[in-house]
Amino acid sequence: MFRSNIVFLGLAAMFLVQPALAGSLEYPQIIHTQYEAIDQKAGGHFVLWSEREKIFYGLDQKLFPGARFVDVTQVTPTTGSITLTYVEVRTVGSTTSDYLYLTGNVRFRVSGMALKSSNFPPGGGMVPGSQ
């Protein structure tokens, strides 16, 4: 009796379980985030890493002035392609922006800045006001 119940449950589990189907991603994938300095006069800190290179904003006011705002757009054109990253940085005391165009793995860190806009879905901490 006990053995037949286990066999029945095993067979029922095999036939009732449906495989999960993954949804297809649509390309191009575009991620857009914008940060603004909390203190507009001092600016915020922005560090960008690309391969072995580091780019600093806000480390030293004379050499690397603080960033007033940072606008980052990351585009993945097709499946398996390299990510293209476009960064606009406006520094404190400047009327023109610096534009950086990068490919491959790009990481960045911000401090003293607030997330102002993003196209991430809510709940992941990358949407304004979700912290």
* Separation CA 113–CA 115 (nearest Å): 7
Q: What are phi and psi of 12, to 5 degrees?
A: -65, -40
Mean pLDDT over residues 17-26, rounded?
Answer: 73
Best CA proximity match to 70, nearest among 90, 93, 48: 90
Tens of pLDDT, residues 51-86: 888 998 987 777 788 999 999 999 999 988 999 999
Tens of pLDDT, residues 93-122: 899 999 999 998 899 999 999 999 988 777
In three-state secondary structure terms, 115 is strand
C-beta neighbour count of 7 within 10 angstroms: 10
* Separation CA 104–CA 128 (nearest Å): 26
